[in-house]
Structure 1
């Protein structure tokens, strides 16, 4: 064998000897096919013999897509090996085209070693953002996860069928799955929902889809839809008396609602993408100066892109929203000279700004990127707590104050997002904090969170969500999840800096919040509600799971009777829920890959502790970590996360949504936060 040729052969390309062995085991050769553990979806449905390769010969012969997306109930699904028969190509003549788009799928485990994906492969010593990491370092699991989905030829799921890589996609959506569009594009008029279907979609949007984000006014949107429907009946252009931005907003709302209901009512997978494409096309045709509806249209597009896990396009579209909101001056109070605008319009200005503000804080956390809005530059007031149906051009028309206003959760979400922004800036800075300063800030910020929580109305805090109507139920769950996330974000640095009673109090706060998140996520998933569509819920669940596994790796016992066994049982269940919910969203599946590596690290650590116990060397040394003089650094100890730094929590958050490796020569897929 030519070793020089092997060394330069692209990954995934079979040698001629391997190809020969594969042909000998193929159905065409008449030889017996080795037993496989998983058949492709098409063969499984037909109960036909399958080679378990990707693509299999049957799918290749039909020219069909060979997929392995159906549920696998016997542990972690094995990754199908690459077939030598790629789209009818002769196995005798391997070429560059034989490097199949499936060769580096985002959930691929290493193939060449034959080691189970449950056991993380060894890696050479490496350098992550200037920090030396060897195979035994706790940071190595991050690198192992990165290696599994960050190769230069990684493709998104939907891009595989068309042999597209992120290097062949436009800059502003590179790495995102392309829109799933029909072969024959229907007309804009034919796509506009009508009658009961339109009413149902609007109900779904306002009650469920963005329960704690309220940039739009329902009666106003109803009026826009009525005008569009009249244009259809009169055979006029749809934009007549509306304009591009308003009509774009309408189609974006229908796209969001269609995506939410598609899995529960078996709607076409390309319906929502088609509606979104129309919305995007309309905003691209806008001319003139920006208006409020220009920002609103793109803001709803951002929600759709986040739900469908097109994170890069969402990020860049959101950048346009930020500039529009700033250019319109929505971050400032309305001056007296501009009060000629009616009450509904002024409230929508406030709603649009605070929706953008919330997303700015949360996307900064999720994607590990800087915040854009600074509180010192903002004097905009919160919107009034008035339900949409009670708003008129001259003010509030309610005869009495409503007991449960739908805008209350939105306002509380904005207040909490402001606290999350402060936590990010003060406790995750680029410069290290002293231990005393960190403890002081943590205590003050926890006090602020507690004050915020005490001020919540009962339907958002003490009332059981299942006893509420649909719209309030969704708001209650969302606020509870956001509250738990803020607590986890505040206290998780102390999981690895366990020194003294104050640190133990932070750990208890963090674990209790993680347990609350996992209970809620488990309830959502098992009750059949639309866990798949909630991008923020996926992220918060990921945070809770990572906290559970990091705590298990660290191994500290805590006083107070905290039920860690329940935490770990729920973690196992919720990791399965998260894997199923994100199965169709390639970037979100990175959550599962990262968690698999982290869980394996926890399992290895647990096995190590058990071995020490059985040999008489009790693992008490793991628990007896001396108080560190500087809580900004890691206390000295004998555990597998000894090299973990506070900034690594941010890398962990961003890893699922960072750019593919190689897109930045300095940072790889890690995008360091600059808070």
Structure 2
């Protein structure tokens, strides 16, 4: 029966009828249907009982999660355009009035203070500055005025080291990302039609999957006991030579690098006054020789740098000379928690060098503790408020950089907030190397803090501003702004290279932060691409975020290129620095996974170049010191083998799917199916849950960054 609209015309079929005024409102507890279904029932298009858990999830032993209510804010378009125009005008006026970016940031920090405290901005760029909104150009951002739903907190993982000790590693940690890859590949590889019976467990990549929930660190191996092997410093002449080599390696290239270096550990060109005999632990007061701790820590670093990976692997159980120097430094510097001893900025420099040594020895947890102690001494001395000279200022900012670096490396919160720091940035000073490199490194480390805390939600500073956006646009914009304001001495050549090793490392960290900001989308793209190729009709596999993915791949390729340049510049060095290995490792992982997210035809030359880049990353890991380098190299080899297995299987699946589609094209009309998806090409057996999960991956254009329960039922 059709109702008349009163003017002789029938109402439009897409227009809802008015609510019946005689209809009584039903109480929520008396309704037969729930207002909102849980996420699982909504994906599977089944009726939800509305309980916690609901009946469907309870019967399937599945986690029952309901969507978070979203409060929407409507802003008139005219008002939005006016806000955008004003922000753009204010940005230009501020940049013209104050060309110095650091001075601009200082004023913004003061202006953004609130009655409850200082602004929670974690980076060199205030959240009140314009940044890209959804769909906007990355170079010309606008402030977001639409309230975003607050993201759920997704924790990192407790991974076991070789000693069986569980250690927390957050989302930015490479070990955590690899663990999620192991889950993903372990879930879908049983569906593959390629049976590598003729390959060994190492060749087919299965050894990579067996390490799920584990990672390698040397923190589980004890250092030699303090003072168990008393050791003296070399003669003044030899010590000067060794310190010069260390300064060239990790600081400023003995004044030859235009950047001035990106770290400042102390005055490595000043020799100490050595005692007549080496101090022993039996001395009543070690404070007299405390200044020597800095030089023992320096010797530990230079001896380690002169040791090759083969020498370490040939004698893994023999304590090295570098460890003996480190133990002596630990004895001389004393217990940093003992506040009865008068701590100085010299102790901070010593702890900084000790942390650098521990990082190179893959003892990141121990380095994390040493950097924390150094930062707390700085706070106790008021260094973070500027109560120090230029040399002490540079030591503080080096501690700051190491703090942000370890925070990013391990996915953990950093020690001190940016708003608590009032010390000026490094500045050029007589008899000191240029401050440009260190200054730029500090600014980049601030952005690193933003990426860790906001993109990966270690400490959601912006939650009060309407929730965190899962898009990486703001982080990308901040990084691009940093790069565009670099002084000429820190810029790369048109070919993307530099003859300054410190400048190469600086840009490698920039590329690494781009990868980290985009990596959640990258993992989501891998999932969707695998699901589309395995269980649904052949079609377009590109993602709505393809521009972000291309940016990530381009950053990975740049890091491999810069890694090759560093290997050429430091040809006399026996093993690469830990930072070089880390940047190259993550770049290689992206290049290995590139085939899984793209269906574009690749020429033989391009594929050969990509394979060459991957092999370089693998070989660079092999050159790393100790078992860590060998473990990382094996992980890359096994991941590459698994990716190739999966690609071969998906290629076969697509061929079968194309044949099926060709048959359906000539089938009678009544034999066709109305569903948008074809039946699964692979034999899944009676377990339809995995098929539903794969279909959900295809539907999910914004997957959770790392859903720890996603594969819990399919990886046993």
Q: TM-score range by the shorter chain?
A: 0.5 to 0.7
Structure-to-structure mapping, 1:635-646, within 5 angstroms: 636-637=696-697, 645-646=704-705
Task: Please state if 1:445 is matched with 2:475.
Answer: yes
The aligned counterpart of 2:295 is 250
Task: Please state if 1:570 is matched with 2:612.
Answer: yes
1:493–1:646 CA contact under 8 A, matched in 2? yes
Count residues in correspondence: 457
Deviations 1:70-93 (A, max 9, x none): xxxxxxxxxxxxxxxxxxxxxxxx
Deviations 1:547-576 (A, max 9, x none): 2223323335499x9986256313431243
Counterpart selection for 1:280 from 323, 327, 330: 330
The aligned counterpart of 1:484 is 511
Distance of aligned partners of 1:241 and 1:439 in 2 relative to their CA distance in 1, 3 Å threshold: closer
The aligned counterpart of 2:99 is none
SS in structure 2 at match of 1:262? coil
Structure-to-structure mapping, 1:258-273, within 5 angstroms: 258-263=303-308, 270-273=320-323
The aligned counterpart of 2:451 is 423
- Looking at structure 1, the residues matched to 184 and 657 of structure 2 have their Cα atoms a distance apart, in angstroms, of 31
- Looking at structure 2, the residues matched to 307 and 375 of structure 1 have their Cα atoms a distance apart, in angstroms, of 27
- Looking at structure 2, the residues matched to 618 and 243 of structure 1 have their Cα atoms a distance apart, in angstroms, of 83
SS in structure 2 at match of 1:193? coil
Deviation at 1:505, TM superposition (A): 1.7
The aligned counterpart of 1:522 is 564
Deviations 1:473-512 (A, max 9, x none): 2212111211211211222222244598872221111111
The aligned counterpart of 1:148 is 211
Structure-to-structure mapping, 1:57-72, within 5 angstroms: none
Task: Please state if 1:352 is matched with 2:352.
Answer: no
1:255–1:304 CA contact under 8 A, matched in 2? yes
The aligned counterpart of 1:136 is 187
2:219–2:362 CA contact under 8 A, matched in 1? no
Deviation at 1:585, TM superposition (A): 2.3
Counterpart selection for 1:534 from 567, 574, 577: 577
Distance of aligned partners of 1:181 and 1:424 in 2 relative to their CA distance in 1, 3 Å threshold: closer
SS in structure 2 at match of 1:586? helix
Task: Please state if 1:295 is matched with 2:348.
Answer: yes
The aligned counterpart of 1:202 is 243
Distance of aligned partners of 1:299 and 1:210 in 2 relative to their CA distance in 1, 3 Å threshold: same
- Calculate the aligned-residue CA RMSD, in Å: 5.0
Distance of aligned partners of 1:645 and 1:442 in 2 relative to their CA distance in 1, 3 Å threshold: closer
Greater CA deviation, 140-149 or 283-292?
140-149
Task: Please state if 1:227 is matched with 2:273.
Answer: yes
Deviation at 1:581, TM superposition (A): 1.7
- Looking at structure 2, the residues matched to 239 and 460 of structure 1 have their Cα atoms a distance apart, in angstroms, of 50
Deviation at 1:447, TM superposition (A): 2.5
Deviations 1:304-337 (A, max 9, x none): 0111112232222223223222222222233xxx
Task: Please state if 1:372 is matched with 2:415.
Answer: yes
Counterpart selection for 2:263 from 214, 218, 224: 214
1:302–1:317 CA contact under 8 A, matched in 2? yes
The aligned counterpart of 1:315 is 368
The aligned counterpart of 1:412 is 440
Distance of aligned partners of 1:609 and 1:145 in 2 relative to their CA distance in 1, 3 Å threshold: closer
Runs (5+) with no aligned partner, structure 2:
1-159, 164-178, 192-203, 253-260, 526-540, 662-675, 678-692, 711-716
Q: Which has the larger radius of gyration?
A: 2
Query: TM-score, normalised on structure 1?
Result: 0.57
2:205–2:637 CA contact under 8 A, matched in 1? no
The aligned counterpart of 2:646 is 605
1:465–1:473 CA contact under 8 A, matched in 2? no
The aligned counterpart of 1:591 is 632
- Looking at structure 2, the residues matched to 515 and 384 of structure 1 have their Cα atoms a distance apart, in angstroms, of 33
Deviation at 1:300, TM superposition (A): 0.7
Deviation at 1:382, TM superposition (A): 0.7
Runs (5+) with no aligned partner, structure 1:
1-103, 108-127, 157-172, 335-344, 391-404, 623-632, 652-675
Counterpart selection for 2:500 from 473, 489, 511: 473
- Looking at structure 1, the residues matched to 190 and 396 of structure 2 have their Cα atoms a distance apart, in angstroms, of 39
Deviation at 1:236, TM superposition (A): 12
- Looking at structure 2, the residues matched to 634 and 370 of structure 1 have their Cα atoms a distance apart, in angstroms, of 34
Counterpart selection for 1:332 from 365, 385, 407: 385
1:382–1:411 CA contact under 8 A, matched in 2? yes
Deviation at 1:194, TM superposition (A): 2.1
- Looking at structure 2, the residues matched to 619 and 428 of structure 1 have their Cα atoms a distance apart, in angstroms, of 42
1:252–1:301 CA contact under 8 A, matched in 2? yes
SS in structure 2 at match of 1:507? helix
SS in structure 2 at match of 1:309? coil
SS in structure 2 at match of 1:603? helix
- Looking at structure 1, the residues matched to 626 and 440 of structure 2 have their Cα atoms a distance apart, in angstroms, of 30
Query: TM-score, normalised on structure 2?
Result: 0.54
The aligned counterpart of 1:26 is none
- Looking at structure 1, the residues matched to 241 and 412 of structure 2 have their Cα atoms a distance apart, in angstroms, of 37
Distance of aligned partners of 1:540 and 1:466 in 2 relative to their CA distance in 1, 3 Å threshold: closer
The aligned counterpart of 1:654 is none
Task: Please state if 1:509 is matched with 2:555.
Answer: no
1:446–1:487 CA contact under 8 A, matched in 2? yes
